[in-house]
Every structure is written in structure tokens, then in C-alpha cells.
Chain A
């Protein structure tokens, strides 16, 4: 193995120009793929296409003709029922209907959605506001009409009369951002005291995709740029800055090119590949460069120095990335398609980075012309040497402190709350978050779940016992604080009954005969548009759909509502032949969250075992394997403990970060242990071997790595999308913890368990 690697390095230092040229040629086909990039922001794609919940969701959408829609809220603090405001609402709705891509017939608003009323003995099915009322009397009448009607109150008009909502269905959700822009143009023309809010999942997704592009285009290079600056400040040598950046950039370009070229879409997960790959690639090069610049002044010949470096580092430089790559590849076992793609391509990227480090990097080092190689003892090394002496001297103490910290972290981990909400992927002050907050305060909720009631035969839904059960379910659901509003065909039947009896409150009830229910629904249908009831009942009246509006999109809250409903159904079973089942995006989200949490946990644990076995194999020692794993265990425990204590929720990005911990944690440990053991073999003395490792190039390289990563990724904390913020911060802390654990606890651990660790090796030495 090592021979093959050395042959590669040999070739690279002897024919550097050829290698650089070859690298450029290979990069071209990868780079060309970038033009084919396809962005995918649909959270549904977190689930497999054939996942049962997703299949049912698609079926429900089809059966009940549910389109993707935007939600426009118009709010006026002193009440929206003023003539000028109503005029604006009318104007805005009229204009909306003429936007290309809007399904005008299915727009839901005060001016186009039918209400059933009775006036002077005449039954009237018409929208509440066909024309803007002129007199105060008429305005008051309009207000009473809509607030009296459960089909409008809290769905189209807020119960305090301050806001109205217009639901704008789209022909497809890919145009959400565009249509949203046109809607904005329309309401921007109006000057009044009203505030406007635009919400709805498609616009959140589409905007997310749009901003994802920005962040990828902005923050990945920004992080890269800052890394270069930090590099330069630390090393004060341009030759130390450019080669690692080139290796990182090339491996990112190759990997993303390969991903796009294989036809995969760039999902939120895969968009983070560059961000994950960069530090891993850089870590490798920093080890090489640190060693190279330590050796160069002594031998004074670049070629010799390079060959010496690779001769010494070939093993850890091979095992560290391979272990990491296997760890990421293990994510392919998770049952979440974007996570699979992510894991596999990060692994591929690590292999690319390794290959470039073995070929392109030495070639570039050969081509760099430097005047004066400097040999100077870095200030950092002295401090690190001191830490090493301290840890080794007081090893029991340090290990005890570590154990206590581990215990505290474990407690913090128990406080982790598993929760996610795609809307929260935007920062608090993002217009989408503001709209979401305001509309949910005002109305019955913008997160729409579907509770599907399914009968065994046609027309089952018209049965009086079934209608009554739907009604009871609704009343029960509305008692849950997260549920803001429910609507169903039962509300329509009651409304028709009420209107048929001249709005006599006595008749705001469900009739007891199936025929009457059928006739009332028919009456409503024949008086309005062909698809007016589609969202509530299927064509055969075999299935009914209860719209459950939630005020919160938190998976935790939806889980609560599901449990609450299950409890009710258990004690109040549905009528014969009737099934009740959840669907809708919030329900889909909790399903993939479950998969994500258990899936990532399983994948992570699996990865740990793989890494553990690999470590035992490469160190040829069980105990060294254990010690090598400990920095990983520690840094992950610290990170998650910190998250637990900080009250931050365990969401998708956090789950993904746990895999990164493996990548960084094991890299530091493998390098440290390999280098230490090499030295110990040569010196045969624990103290001097530790002094060499901690006071020399190995610890310095690890320290530099930790510092570069922690600082370099800090700008991501100001990204506008929270997954990027999370990953950025997590990187910082993780690099910090992994560095500390490796540099402080490893010497102490080795000191404490020297019996088990070093005995065998000493025997070998003898």
C-alpha cells in the first residue's frame, strides 16, 4: 500500500508540470456539469418516493384536488372593515386573478368564495363581497355575515376583524417565487394603513431554494476566503495558503460536478457538501505542509523534504481520510434519500481530496519558488509542549475532569428536544418568518393538516352517523391549543340547513337523514363552482377531508395533535366501516423527522463501530483503538450537551452534524496517535515521545487545524438560513472541542493507561 502511494508521490515530484496539467484537464469535465444544476427544496423529498405516508399524501392531494397555494394576509390595526380597506381588498383580489399561473377559479377570498345566506325568504349562494359595500350599515352587515360563518371566520377573516386572508392556488409550485413577486407589485401600488404578509409553504420552499443558491454562492467562498486570511495570519506565507485552498476547491468542484453529473438534484443536504468537504480537505494539507516546512530548512531540498514528509505521514494520511470516508459512506444506510446522497458524495469527495493531496499538492509544492526557508520555533509549540507536560504529569486529574465533563454533557444530552420546522430554517427576522408569526397570531393557523375520514362504500360520508362523527372530531380537535381552526363538509351541511330555514339558529345543526344531507350538499354544489367542495369530499362521497389548521409548524406540536386525536379515537371509535387517517405536510414532516432521528442515530452508531474497527485494525491494538475513539466520544458529547443546555432543538442540520464530528474527531486523533507511536517506537521513552509530539510539528498541525476551522467557518453564523448558521457554529465548537480533547486529554489518557497501551509496544521494541 505504502509503496503504491510513494510511487504516486515520486511521480508527482519528478513530473510536477505534467501532474498539474493532468489535474486541470480532469477538472474540466467536472466543471462543465455545473451548468446542469437542478435545485430541489421540496421537503417531501426527504422521504422515499414509495414511503407509505408520502404515497397517501399524494393520493389525498389528488382526491381532494388540493393545490399548492400562497397565503396573502392583509391586516389593519383599527379593523379591516373600513370602506377604503375593503376597496383595496377587492382591487387586489381582482388583479390577483389575472396573474399568469394563478388558478383563478380556485382562489379563496371574500370576493370570490361562496357563502350561503338567506335574505327575505330567498336563498343566496354568493361571495360575501361581490361589490364593496357603500354605507356603514352594509359594512356592518358584511362583517356580521362573515364572522357568523364558521366557514369564513378565522379562515378568511380574523375573529377580531383586523385581518383578511386570500388563498392563491398555483398551477405548479415552481413558480411560487415569481407569482409572489407579482402579488407584491400589486399590493405595493396601494397606499393605506394596511400591512401585507405573504406566507405558505410553496413560497417558503421556493424562497429557500433561491436563498440556498445565494448562500452556497456567497458563504462557501466567503468561508474559503476567510480560511485563507486566517491561514495567512497564522503562517505568514502565501505558499502555505494557496496549495490547501486549491486542493479544497478542486475536490469540491470534482465532487459537486460528479453529483450534478450523475443526475442528482442539489437538495438542502447536498448543498452543504462543499462546507463539509473543505475543512476535511484542508486538514490533510495542513498536516503535510506543517511537516514540510519543518523539514525543508533542515534538508534544504524541496524534493527530499516532500519525500520524507510522505514517507513519514503516508499511513496516517491514508487512514484518517479513509476512516472518515467510510464513516460518511455509512450514511447510505439511512432511509432518507437526500442523506444517502450526501453521505456517499462526501465520502467520494474525501477520496478526491486524498488523491489530490498525494499528487497535485506535492506537484504544486515542487513548482513554488521560495527564497529563504525559515526555521523558527513557533511560540505555539512551547505552550503546547507545556500542556503536554502538564497533562502527562497530572494525568489522573485531567482524566477525572474529563470524566466529570462527560457526565455533565450526558446530562445535557438528556435535555435535548427533538423538533424541526422547515419555516424555522429562515431566521427570525426573515419576512417569511414574520408573515408566518403574524398570520398565525391572527388567524386559525397557516399550517394545514388533513384528517381523512374514509368509508367503505360510496356515499358513506352522507350517512348521518358519519357526519356527526366528523363534527365531534372537529369540536374535539378545536379544544387542542395548537389547533386554531377546523373546517369540513359538516360545516357546509350545517350552513345550508341554517340558510334553508331562514337563518334560524335552531337549524345550525346536522340533519338526521342521509337523504337530507345528500340534498344539502347537492344544493351547495349546484349553486357554486364545480370544484367548490373538492377540498372536503371526494367525488364518490366515500372520503371526507377535515382541514385542520395548526398555529405551529413545529413537528413536536403536530406529534402532540396526532397523539391527542389517537386518544380520542380510542375512547370514541368511529362508526362501522369508517377509518380515520392523518395526512398533509406537517404529518409528512413528523414522519421524516422520525426517520431522520432514528436513521441518523443508527447511521452514526454504525459509523462509530466501523471507525472503531478501522482504528483497531490500523493501530493493530484494541486499546489504542479505544483511546483513538475517545476524542470522538468526548467532542460529540460536549457539542450535544451544549446544545441541550442551550435549549436549541435537535433538528435536521444538527442531526447531520453528528457525522461531521466523526470526520474531524478521528482525523485529529489518528494523526496524534500515529505520530506519537512512531516516535515512541524510536525513542522508547514516554516522556520524550510526548514532548516531541506535543512540542513539535504534530500537535502544532492539529492546533492550527482546529484554529483555522473554528475561525474560518465563523462567518456562516450570519447566514440567513438557519441550517447554515447551525453548521457554521457547530463546526466552530466541534473543532475547538476536538482540538482540546486531542491535545489535553489524549496525553493524559496515554499517561493514565500507559500499562495497557505501551506494554505491548515495549515488548515489540525489546
Chain B
């Protein structure tokens, strides 16, 4: 129903009202948000905060390398510093847009690397309020995107885009994104549950320029239903540092290379 209304609304607009289509904007946005550079590294500080205000800290080094065009394959290498008892634990993901990811985890206590089965991409990323999709993106083709309006969010001019999943097996009904017209970064996203209520809200809280790439260095995902939220901060962010393919291997999972994770 919602979708038809949106289509109708879009059809009623004058033809040349927008320079871009919804698809084009989302594609551009994905490229600048999740695929900038050939590769990327950051020290990630993640704070999980419960409804009652209790906090858990995750600190990790995150390395990413792109394979192919924006929207294509990616590899992630994550090394955990905190909590203290999981120091040396590492986690690796081979991300494929059109099929299930491959994931590996190294458990130092038993000195063993285990393959981890990938659930649907909307499952939680390392126990946070972010999903794997929020971290590495959802296939643009999977959703119908449409511009519903343009408005200011704070100081910034934004496109407001609705994205409705084409297949029915997704646990939300649609997403609204506020995309900055200037740099195409998403400044805010609202995920709507099938009941029509807002389920999760993403906000980009700080944006910095790193090597010419506008980068969201502080972000929050809040689950309005459970009251739980996750705050993420990036420090020591860098791009195009020449991460070699060999890093993404079982060998380095067991013995994370110093030069990348200091």
C-alpha cells in the first residue's frame, strides 16, 4: 500500500523535479559511505548501551579491502582489543553481495579457527544494534528506492529516500534515508517495522574528511523497541594503505600482523 502511494506521489511530481532517481542516489550513497578507497583501516570503539544505561565496550581494529566496483565483494579483518579476556580474538568476513558471506573466528583459548555460518544479513554485527547489512551494505537491487521529498536536516540539504525491500522475507517494511545532497552520505536512517512503528534509527553524528574521503567517524544505532543503542567511533582512520590479499587468511587470523593492528 505504502509503496503504491509513494509511486503515485512520485508520478504526480513534475518530470524534471529531481536530477537523480532514487536508485542513482542510493547507489552513489553506498559508494561514498561503504566503499570509499581501495582499502581502509580504523580503530573502532564500540559502546553497547542497555536501556538501563549499562555499558559494554568493544574495541577493535577493522581492516577492509574492496574487490571490484562499489557494491561488489569486500573482505573484512577484525582484531579485538577489548574486552580484555578476548584479546587476540580475530574475525574475518568475505562479503559477497548476492550470496551468503563466509565468516571465520579465531578463539585464542582453544587456539582454533572456526568457520561461522552466516545467517541472513540482517543479523546483528558482533552483538551490536548494527546488522551486517548496516556495516557492509545491502544490494541496491534488492529494494525499490524512491525520492519522497527534499528537506533540510540540521544545516544540510538532503534527499529523503524511501527504500522498500522487493522480497517479503525481510523483517522490516521500509527504510527512510536522509542523504546529504553535497556528499551523498546518509545522515539519518529510520527503519520501520511492519507494524508501521519506527524500529531502529541510525544517525551520523560526526563527519570528517580523511584523505579526501568524507567519513562518518561517529555514528549511533538506536533500537526504539528494546531501548538498546550502540555508539561507534572511528579513530586512526586511513584509506589506500595497501593491505595485501594475504592478510585475509587463516594464518593471519591466528597471528594478527603487528603493522596493521597497532
Contact = CB atoms under 8 A, between A and B. Distances in A.
A756 to B, nearest CB: 68
A511 B85 contact: no
Interface string A497-537: 00011000000000101111111101101111111101000
A88 interface: no
Given A104-B193, A459-B85, A519-B86, A500 B110 contact: yes
B109 A123 contact: no
Given A511-B109, A540-B54, A98 B194 contact: yes
Contacts of B124: 528-530
Most chain A CB neighbours (cut-off 10 Å) among B54, B55, B108:
B54
B195 interface: yes
A394 B52 CA distance: 74
Contacts of A500: 107, 110, 112, 114
B116 A63 contact: no
B197 interface: yes
Interface string A420-459: 0000000000000000000000000000000000000001
A530 B128 contact: yes
B105 A123 contact: yes
Most chain A CB neighbours (cut-off 10 Å) among B48, B84, B226:
B226
A660 to B, nearest CB: 43
B11 interface: no
A539 B108 contact: no
B129 A530 contact: yes
A523 B107 contact: yes
Nearest to B116: A123
A531 B54 contact: no
B50 A522 contact: no
B225 A103 contact: yes
A100 interface: yes
Interface string A94-125: 00011110011110000000000001011111
A563 interface: no
Contacts of B89: 519, 522
A62 interface: yes
Contacts, number: 109
Contacts of B86: 518-519, 522
B52 A65 contact: yes
A527 B115 CA distance: 12
Contacts of A526: 91, 126-127
Interface string B100-134: 00000101111010111101000110111100000
A173 to B, nearest CB: 16
Contacts of B107: 500, 519, 523
B115 A531 contact: no
Contact of B52 (A63, A100, A513, A525): A63
A98 B194 CA distance: 6
Contacts of A462: 85
A528 B48 CA distance: 13
A63 to B, nearest CB: 7
A691 interface: no
B251 interface: no
Interface in A341-358: none
* A: interface residue count bin: 35 or more
A459 B115 CA distance: 28
A169 to B, nearest CB: 9
B56 interface: yes
Contacts of B54: 63, 538-540
A126 B117 contact: yes
Nearest to A112: B171
Interface string B2-27: 00000000000000000000000000
Interface string B186-206: 000000011101010000000
Contacts of B193: 98, 104
A125 B119 contact: yes
A65 B223 CA distance: 14
Interface string A726-755: 000000000000000000000000000000
B74 interface: no
A529 B194 CA distance: 19
B59 to A, nearest CB: 13
Nearest to B51: A65
Contacts of B225: 103-105, 171
Contact of B83 (A105, A125, A126, A518): A518
Interface in B13-63: 48, 50-52, 54-56
A93 B156 CA distance: 42
A534 B105 CA distance: 23
Nearest to B107: A519
Nearest to B115: A122
B157 to A, nearest CB: 34
A126 B109 contact: no
Nearest to A522: B86
A516 B109 contact: yes
Given A123-B114, A126-B119, A528-B127, A519 B226 contact: no
A522 B116 contact: no
Given A121-B115, A519-B108, A530 B228 contact: yes
B230 interface: yes
A517 B107 CA distance: 11
A130 B110 CA distance: 30
Contacts of B115: 121-123
A122 B110 contact: no
A531 B195 CA distance: 22
A401 B88 CA distance: 86
Contacts of A119: 117
A126 B118 CA distance: 9
Given A97-B171, A526-B127, A539-B54, 6 more contacts: A62-B52, A121-B114, A122-B114, A517-B85, A518-B84, A539-B56
9 contacts: A98-B195, A103-B225, A104-B225, A119-B117, A123-B114, A124-B116, A500-B112, A522-B89, A528-B123
Question: What 6 pairs across the A-B complex have the smallest Cβ distances?
Answer: A518-B85, A539-B54, A516-B109, A124-B117, A526-B126, A525-B127
